[in-house]
Structure 1
Amino acid sequence: MDNGDDTRGFANSAGNILVNGRRPSVKQDTPSAILARISANSVERIDLIRGQVLGIDMQGQSVIANILLKEEVPAAVQWKTITGKVFDEDFINLNGDISLTHKWKDIDYILGVQLDQHAHHWEGTRSYFFGDDNLVEDRVDDTSQRHSFVSGSFGSSTWLKKNFIEFNSRVRVDDNSVPLISIRTPITDPEPHRELFDNDSVRTNIEASMNVTRSFNHDLTTKGIFLYSQLDNDQYATQTIFDTNDELDLFRESDKNTLTQEGIVRVETNWTGLDHHFIQFNIEGAYNRLTSSLRQTVDTGAGPKRENVPGSNTKVEEYRSDILLLDNWNIGPFEVEYGLGVEVSNISQTGDAGLERDFFFLKPQAGIVYTPHINTQARLSLQREVSQLDFNDFVSVVALQDDDITLGNPNLKPESIWKVELGYEYRFSAAGAFNIALFHHWISDVEDLLPITDTRDAPGNIGDGKRWGVNLEVALPLDWLGIGNSRLDIRTRWTDSSVKDPVTGKTRKLSAIGGLGGPFIYREEDIKLSSEIKFRQDFEDERIGWGWELRSRTKRTLFKIDELDTYNEDFDIMAFVESTRWFGIKMSLIARYLTDERERIRTIYENQRSLSVIETTEIQRQSLIGQIDFVLSGNF
């Protein structure tokens, strides 16, 4: 399942799930979350669509799942509860999710509510060295997260004369607290002292959308999409340092608010008036705004003093238009797709930094799909994509634990990528498939960390680069090994890249995403090798199933002006057993984070990286403590 990209605009956020042939016009409320609220009793069947089908907008996907609902069904309630516990915590994780699918007059609607409270616990150590081998301090870290949220959603659809109207809305409020206790023991002074970090946040997310679809005749269909979303994020962080007598030595606090807003108007027109052609014309207009404010103070005993963080109080606005004309031409076993897109935008920033810029991009695309047999497909595509800027990169960010600031950059511009991909898919049985795709990307204006001063860097454009690799997916039934009703699903991605380093002038790979926190997920990013393996076996007579999942990825490095920041999660395993044999309820027992060991190595130089000697080295090792969940779900 593909939930789409979390980018500005609607075109790139669509996933590969349709409901009754229509793509859910949502962004924050993902297609997978929408499906979780649909009762299985309401589903007529699920069609797997490979290649272009008349009236179906594939939006660049090679495979789409179309969920077809029954026309007349009684009211249905879908529910799910999760009770869990971290192995060494007294806190009980609780989650409740319930949804109602019903009909009022001619309006079909679905209403959902979800409540959640859960905890994560990390234990670890940090070792600090002068240079790379002289130990100067050891730390023992203990981090506990408390996260709760409440979410409500409402969706409806109806016919109004010849217009099919859909409405979707969602509200979610998250409350998150992550305290860290660090016990520091310098080698020269065996008396330990404490350092405390608290990171609290409250996020309020609102989204509402309306779609109007009309078929003017058999050949012409138009859909209008109107969407508004808003994220209000209040963050409060503190750093408290005590001396060896447990007296207060320093207190720093950071109070930040970020408000992100997006409004989208989009019109999609499909025309099939020419034999064997499916012509699409899409036009989208969007307005995006981010407003950020930060107040930071430090108190070393003489009272709090304001700390200036340049670029932290700012407003960024964007007006953007996106047009696409696309034709899909079906010629027997061949499908030829070609089109041209145009993107025009204006981005302005006011506050600590002021700048206004205009952008214009042409986005041609072409592809050919060859399907000689229902079980075999080959694909070749070439297209130019333009990245959607993350407005948070325009705002300076303070990392209290790292004693570091990443500046915002008002001069950041979108990177553009020419992508070529050659893919082959073979389905060797009803449940078995082999899918491989080779890709190469030519990147202009690579977005990475760019030196702004001799000691500070910021997100910026560092020149041209390349990325190449292979994606492999295998679905393998294991009956031939004597393991009945079992299946192994494998996803793996190997990638490499090159770009000229703005600090050293030498060729290196692209920077990867930093950070150790959060559950281990498989995603496409600039990592040498990442893999996900899932095993499942079902015993149909006993109505019991069990399985496990393994995820792994190799080291990833973030290249800063005076630092190499390397992360290594190695691999993680989860296992489960489930049954539907009692009371018509699905019961699952899930063990998570069984081998979640993580490492971070910060190599900090005296001045610019690789142009000076190593000043300090920090080695952080962290374990995400395992947890067990008991899940009940059903419908009535």
Structure 2
Amino acid sequence: MRLKLFAATAALCIAMPLHAAAQEASQDGAVLTYAPGYFDAYSPVTALDMIAQVPGFSIDNGAQVRGLADTFANVLIDGERQSTKSESIQQILQRIPVASVERVELIRQVVAGVDMRGQTRVINVVLAEDAGVSSTLEVSADYWVGSGLITPEVIASTSWDMGNTRLTVGGEFTQNGAPLLRDEYLQDGAGALIETRSERTSRLSTSPRFNASLTTRFDDESRLSLSLNGGVTDGVERDRSLAALPGGALDRVELYTTDSHGTSLEGTATYERPFTESLSGQLVFLNRDDTYSSDDAFTFTPATGSGSTSYYASTVDDGERALRGTLTWEVNDHHSLEIGAETALNYLESGLEIMEDTGTGPVAVPLPVANTRVEEQRSELFVSHVWQASEAVTVESGFRLEHSTIEQTGDAQRSRSFDYPKPSITLTWDQTAETQWTVSLEREVSQLSFGQFASEVSPTESQVVIGNPELVPSKVWRGSVAWERRWGPEASLTITLTHERAEDVNDLRPVTVVVDSTTTPVTTATFDAPGNIGNGQRTYLFVEAAIPLDRIGLSGARLDVSGMLRDSQVTDPTTGETRRYMGNEDWRLSMDFRQNFTEQKLAWGWGYYNQGNEDAFRYDQSMVWTYGSPQVDAWIETTAIDGMTLRLTWGDFLPSVRERERTFYTGSRADNIVSGREFQQQDLGGYIIATARRTF
């Protein structure tokens, strides 16, 4: 059924070769240019609003990894990538008023002088010169249906354009009070009901943030960009579970409370200088420091008898220092070369203390690898070459050589070094002015998450995952073929087929450790730990389309469709059987509809999201998550008040329900002796958002 729906969506896209005229859009080879007037019907307030309406393009923030090489989004501002990692490109674009944008360019293949960084499509936001002073303000109120809370959000920024210098200062204040409502029931291995649970999670997080950026150009055409951003996040969470026996009598009450505090501060500096007309250089420096601490308590209160309370105190400090230098040489009209180097220092220090009180006073509970520090020193050399083989064919090839040393101290002592080559090649062929093919092959080496080196506990799920100092990165060969067809500047269809072959797939695997060496024989326990589980493979089919609907009678309307089919295979470390990757759904479908009524200064739309089930596997249990119904949002927007955009959104109004089936086993899953099953229905809850936005 899902495959038929996916195929029907693709067929609809192919059957709509619309060529609606857009007087404010033009094409010059690989570059589609959208003037500000193109977006007037969408009443944009910021550059983010403009990019959201570029047909056939979606923002990719890049990988969340250490260093700078793979972290850049597919959006440029004045031809340059943004170096910050603590902020998304959406947050940066949200601070750029429409009045500061001269044009938006969609670049569909490698172009001389444009830093594509291996990406096949990027947006370049070209800022207007001498834009003066402009400000943006957004105020919203979120009503959370499940909890009845109303939380505010305020985002403000001001930009000053002073000749060769542009200064932007902004801040935001956000609160989140999204509740979680769950119903659970537990069966024994024979299917008999053991208990039911009614659970509710109430939470409130508050986060004020600030940001500032400065860009200045010098007489020698060099440019210096500085940015600083930071914030504080305070959160409170209360999780209550009422467990009842089959007859309805209360069996126990479980209460889990969390009080957390986090800080973040990041600064970046980028200096670019042209040495000649064909030779230029760039230096990027990044410094980031984050902290997090939480005090948690899990109270178990039975209907009869004595209970217990467990206390968890955790701290995490992590930071990064990175320096990247690049030299770019435009050899001639057909060849360009980029060489450079990057070095980075990253660290994470994690601490977890557990105490349990059964009525006689708190007693420390030992946990392997609970307190540890991980530090990585990483260096990389890279070179890339762009060859314009003909007017229709472009080849981009690259080679990166990475060396890293990871040292772990504390509860686990380990030091290891890794050396990995990472070649890549991308070929782009413009079959016609409207049709483009892209073929790529690359080797990717994943970065190890420092959090996987330290142990963690989930009291409400009765789960423990211990840190694994022996984990090694996963290595992936990835090949893809993409076909893109555009009908003018407004309609497009992109189909991409990708296949991956992986070594040392990262997943959870069982690890047996000694928990008491004083007994005879010693006492051991088996935990789940991050580990490498061998080779695996994945195949993806992506479809992305922008479909104007004027020809079917919906004037000023467009439907954006994005879908994915995925097949994955890996060997389970516990059972030895073939299964899919943990957390990898087989399909995903999202749709966004918008219709503008320009004369009435009104617009409305809806969004749809659904996906296949996900699963997770542990040594003695398995879990399957199923989306019982799609998430559907609806909104209405008006610009009747001059200079202001008002929007009312009803999010997840069905509402969607997420179901989980959790199977428990006696001993290992490999023995297939089921001891019980837990069924959970989670109401994600709806929300209503009222938003007012304007520029000054």
TM-score (norm 2): 0.88
* Contact 1:132 1:617 survives alignment (8 Å): no
Contact 2:118 2:426 in 1 (8 A): no
The counterpart of 1:576, out of the listed 631, 635, 640, is 635
Task: Specify the alignment match of 1:19 in structure 2.
Answer: 77
Corresponding position of 2:35: none
The equivalent residue for 1:435 is: 494
Residue 410 of structure 1 corresponds to which residue in structure 2? 469
1:229-628 alignment, distance < 5 Å:
229-244=288-303, 249-331=307-389, 332-453=391-512, 455-512=526-583, 526-570=584-628, 571-594=630-653, 595-628=655-688
What corresponds to 2:174 in structure 1?
Answer: 116
Question: C-alpha displacement at 1:593, in angstroms?
Answer: 2.1
**Residue 7 of structure 1 corresponds to which residue in structure 2?**
65
Which residue of structure 2 lines up, in the alignment, with residue 179 of structure 1?
Answer: 238
Higher strand share: 1
| 1:1-37 deviation digits (Å, cap 9, x = unpaired) | 1122211111111011111111111111111100000
Q: Distance in 2 between matches of 1:132 and 1:533?
A: 42
> What letter matches 2:676 in structure 1?
T
How far apart, CA to CA, are the structure 2 residues paired with 1:248 and 1:611? 35
What runs of 5+ residues in structure 1 fail to find an aligned partner?
513-525
Q: Distance in 2 between matches of 1:90 and 1:450?
A: 41
1:519 maps to none
Percent identity of paired positions between Structure 1 and Structure 2 = 30
For residues 316 and 646 of structure 2, the distance between their equivalents in structure 1, rounded to whole angstroms, comes to: 40
What are the Cα deviations for residues 412-463 of structure 1, in whole angstroms up to 9, with x where unaligned?
1110100000110000232110001101100010001111126311011011
The one-letter code sitting in structure 2 at the alignment partner of 1:19 is I
Letter in 1 for 2:616: L
**In the TM superposition, what is the alpha-carbon distance from 1:618 to its structure 2 partner?**
1.1
Match of 2:147 in 1: 89
Aligned in 2, Cα 1:280/1:429: closer, same or farther, shift over 3 Å? same
- TM-aligned CA distance change 1:18 to 1:552, over 3 Å: same
TM-superposition CA deviations, 1:274-320 (whole Å, max 9, x none): 33112111311111100001111111111111111111100000011
Amino acid at match of 2:280: T
Opposite residue 493 of structure 1, the aligned amino acid is: M
Gaps of 5+ in 2: 1-58, 513-524
State the AA in 2 paired with 1:634. Answer: R
C-alpha contact 1:240 1:248 (8 A) present in aligned 2: no
In the TM superposition, residue 106 of structure 1 has moved relative to its aligned partner by 4.5
**Cα distance in 2 between the residues matched to 1:631 and 1:270:** 44
- CA distance in 1 between counterparts of 2:666 and 2:421 reads 44
Shift of 1:87: 2.3
RMSD of the alignment, in Å? 1.4
Determine if contact 2:146/2:180 at 8 Å carries over to the other structure.
no
Deviation at 1:624, TM superposition (A): 1.7
What SS does the corresponding residue of 1:5 show, helix, strand or coil? coil
**CA distance in structure 1 between the partners assigned to 2:476 and 2:642 by the alignment:** 54
DSSP-derived class of the 2:600 partner: coil
1:131 Cα deviation from its structure 2 partner:
1.2
Quote the offset at 1:172 in angstroms.
1.5
Q: Contact conserved, 1:422 with 1:437, CA < 8 A, in 2? A: yes
**More deviation in 330-339 or 349-358?**
330-339
SS at match of 2:202: strand
Tell me how many residue pairs correspond in the alignment: 622
- SS state at 2:359 partner: coil
What is the distance in 1 between the residues matched to 2:190 and 2:139? 49
Is the Cα contact below 8 Å between 2:130 and 2:161 reproduced in 1? no
The Cα of 1:199 is off from its aligned counterpart by 2.3
- Are 2:259 and 1:207 equivalent residues in the alignment? no
Looking at structure 2, the residues matched to 549 and 112 of structure 1 have their Cα atoms a distance apart, in angstroms, of 30
User: 1:161 Cα deviation (Å)?
Assistant: 4.4
Conserved? CA contact 1:102–1:110, under 8 Å: yes
Partner of 1:65: 123
Q: Secondary structure at the match of 1:73?
A: coil
TM-score with structure 1 length normalisation? Answer: 0.96
| Counterpart amino acid of residue 170 in structure 1 | N
Deviations 1:88-137 (A, max 9, x none): 53422101111010145753110011011231122121111111511111
Once residues 187 and 282 of structure 1 are traced to their aligned partners in structure 2, the CA distance between those partners, rounded to angstroms, is: 67
Deviation per residue, 1:504-533 (Å, 9 max, x gap): 111111111xxxxxxxxxxxxx21001111
Letter aligned with residue 61 of structure 1 = Q
The Cα of 1:619 is off from its aligned counterpart by 1.0
Per-residue CA deviations over 1:220-270 (Å, capped at 9, x if unaligned) read 11110000112211122211111216x861111101001111110001221
Given residue 567 of structure 2, which amino acid in structure 1 is its aligned partner? D
Three-state SS of the structure 2 residue aligned to 1:393 is helix
Shift of 1:52: 1.2
Cα distance in 1 between the residues matched to 2:601 and 2:190: 57
In the TM superposition, residue 372 of structure 1 has moved relative to its aligned partner by: 2.7
Contact kept, 8 Å, 2:601 with 2:639, in 1: the verdict is yes
How far apart, CA to CA, are the structure 2 residues paired with 1:287 and 1:75? Answer: 39
For 2:550 and 2:218, the matched residues in 1 are separated by: 51
1:547-586 deviation line (CA, Å, top 9, x unaligned): 1111111111111111112112342111111111213200
Higher relative CO (Cα under 8 Å, sequence separation at least 6) belongs to 2
* Distance in 2 (alpha carbons) for counterparts of 1:269 and 1:400: 51
Partner of 2:41: none
Inter-partner Cα distance in structure 2 for 1:482 and 1:106: 48
Match of 1:170 in 2: 229
Q: Give the letter aligned to residue 220 of structure 1.
A: L
- Contact 2:407-2:416 within 8 A present in 1 as well: yes
Structure 2 residue 116 is matched with structure 1 residue 45: no
Question: Residues of 2 paired with 1:430 and 1:161: CA distance?
Answer: 37
Amino acid at match of 1:112: G
Once the two structures are superposed, what CA deviation does each residue of 1:475-520 show, in whole Å capped at 9, x if it has no partner? 11111110111111111111111111111111111111xxxxxxxx
Alpha-carbon separation, structure 2, partners of 1:611 and 1:496: 27
Q: CA contact under 8 A between 1:455 and 1:562: conserved in structure 2?
A: no
- Counterpart position of 1:515: none
| Preserved CA contact (<8 Å) 1:120 1:145 | yes
User: Any idea what SS the aligned residue of 1:392 has?
Assistant: helix
Partner residue in 2 for 1:520 = none
Secondary structure of 2:201's match? Answer: strand
8 A contact 1:154–1:169 mirrored in 2: yes
Measure how far apart 1:84 and its partner are.
2.0
Question: Aligned equivalents of 2:368 and 2:662: distance in 1?
Answer: 25
Structure 1 residue identity aligned to 2:614: R
1:17 and 1:105 map into 2 onto residues whose CA distance is 24
Partners in 2 of 1:490 and 1:314 — Cα distance? Answer: 45
* 3-state secondary structure, aligned to 1:484: coil
Q: Distance in 2 between matches of 1:606 and 1:391?
A: 32
Q: Which amino acid aligns with 1:433?
A: S
CA distance in 2, matches of 1:233, 1:99: 27
